[in-house]
Amino acid sequence: MNEISQIDYEPPLVEDLSSIEVILETTTSEDLLFGKTEISPSDFKVTSPEAVKFRETFFPQTTEKQWSSWRWQVQNSYTNFKKLSELFDVSNIDDFDFLSKSRKLPLRITPYYASLLYGKPKGYALNRAVVPNKLELITSPGEESDPLHEDSMCPVENLIHRYPDRVLMLSTGFCSVYCRYCTRSHMVSKEKKHFGIKAWETSIEYIRNNPNVRDVILSGGDPLTLPDRHLEFLLSSLRAIPHLDIIRIGTKVPVVMPQRITTKLVKMLKKFHPLYMSIHFTHPDEITPEVTEACNRIADAGIVMGSQTVLLKDVNDNVDTMKELMHKLLKVRVRPYYIYQCDPIPGSSHFRTPVSKGLEIIKGLRGFTSGYAIPHYVIDAPGGGGKIPILPEYYQGREGDNVILKNFEGKTFKYYDPIK
């Protein structure tokens, strides 16, 4: 039984939160993104030797305690090329004033995630995923800023209602790292601050008034960049809706800023079961000691984790890399869930692989590793058709009373299945 049941849980006092809301709504200063709270010592104690070396080199005045604070990580993130050029040669991208132009995603990389990029060869997979590239300026046929037409599926602001029984709520526009291929690049990062809790009211009201909705996905932006008290307010408001069965959190934070997964956070989250977490992983190199610790904490809190991975050219588009990622995910108790075909946002063609590549990867996994390690390969249909699973041709059709099947080795079998 949950520590706090759906019926008797009292949301945190609204008056307590109203002061924070004022701060969020009146400031444009990134330093005040999280209210007036000072950086407090973190109970996150795991730092890999590589990260320690990185901290000592690039943040020599920073203590281990500060590095382990997620607020410190946000406040000291790499957000301009000058700072990034301390890590590697950015001469091929230094004319990128496009970053200030509204339709493009800004640069943002946490120091922790930057420590994974440092010292790696040119063209390193994780570098490609988060460091801007001139190719983002090229819009190719079929690309559009809102390829899933999510804007047309918003009955109220910041809420997408595409499927009958579930909705996606955009809880913030802020992410701790901006992925260069982000489907929601048209809406994330427009403000250097959170929406504020007032902006959630219409979404919560919409869910409360729609008894068909049994599942809500908190997305954004990244909900785990919200302060604990805001997140608790949001979760408790949702949990108080009787017809809502499950709440899911879509996040990349455990991968790019594992220090956010404090014991205080998971203790708060576990009050709102059944709670699921869809975590955005890209590459096996992301499974570090820090990420392992973060995932263990989430799993120990009883939160079921599934992975979401975007298939990206020259990042993870081969069987070996994907297999290694899926195996490592299982070891940190994350169930491989989705591989997505990269959505056609403007300037993303350098990331997109042919669909045949995704099928090749699924074929290379099915039968060659445990079933738990095999995610669904899906294309989110342009125009708002929803996720469509793409499967290799295991079912070959019928021959009289038999169906013809092909196994993972390409051998053909008949399965007796009489037509009645």
- Could you list the active site residues? 162-163, 166, 175, 179, 182, 184, 343, 380, 387
Nearest Cα to Cα of residue 380 among 246, 212, 184, 187: 184
Min separation Cβ 185 and ligand SF4, Å: 7
In this chain, which residue has its C-beta nearest to ligand SF4?
182
Rounded to a whole number of angstroms, the minimum distance from the CB of residue 105 to ligand SF4 is: 7
Of the pair 273, 290, the CB lying nearest ligand SF4 is at 290
Sheet order of strands, 395-399 included: 395-399, 402-406, 412-416
Strands 402-406, 395-399: pairing kind: antiparallel
Helix (H) or strand (E) holding 159, with range, is: strand 159-163
CB of 406 to ligand SF4, least distance (A): 35
Least separation in angstroms between CB 252 and ligand SF4: 4
Nearest 5°: phi and psi at 29?
-80, 125
Enter the DSSP assignment of 393: S
The least CB distance from residue 375 to ligand SF4, in Å, is 17
Residue with Cβ nearer ligand SF4 (20 or 224): 224
Question: Is cis: bond before 274, omega within 30 of 0?
Answer: yes
Q: Could you tell me the smallest distance in angstroms from the CB atom of residue 405 to ligand SF4?
A: 37
Closest alpha carbon to 266 in 254, 282, 280: 254
The kind and range of the H/E element at 113 are helix 111-117
The helix, strand and coil proportions of the chain, stated in percent and rounded to the nearest 5, come to 35, 15, 45
- The residue (of 252 and 283) whose beta carbon lies closer to ligand SF4 is 252
Closest by alpha carbon to 316, among 296, 387, 381, 308?
308
In sequence order, the β-bridge partners of residue 280 are 308
Instruction: Please say which residue, 66 or 308, places its beta carbon nearer to ligand SF4.
Output: 308
* Residue indicated by tokens 């692989």: 353
- Residue 181: other Cβ atoms inside 10 A: 25
Which CB, 225 or 288, lies closer to ligand SF4? Answer: 225
Which of the 8 DSSP states describes residue 366? B
CB of 224 to ligand SF4, least distance (A): 10
Q: Which of 182, 241 has the CB closer to ligand SF4?
A: 182
Half-sphere exposure of 291 (CA within 13 A, CB side): 25
Q: How many residues does the chain have?
A: 420
Smaller CB separation from ligand SF4, 161 or 184:
184
Interface with ligand SF4 by CB under 6 A: which residues? 175, 178-179, 182, 184, 188, 220-222, 252, 280
- Classify residue 48 by its DSSP letter: -
Closest distance between ligand SF4 and the C-beta of residue 280, in Å? Answer: 6
Among residues 159 and 241, whose Cβ is nearest to ligand SF4? 159
Please, what's the b/e burial string for 3-26 (b: 16 or more CB within 10 A of its CB; e: otherwise)? Answer: eeeeeeeeeeeeeebeebbebbee
CA dihedral sign, ordered 258, 313, 149, 97 = positive
Q: Give bridge partners of residue 338 from the DSSP assignment.
A: 308, 376
Question: Torsion angle of alpha carbons 333, 339, 342, 343, nearest 10°?
Answer: -90
DSSP state, residue 65: H
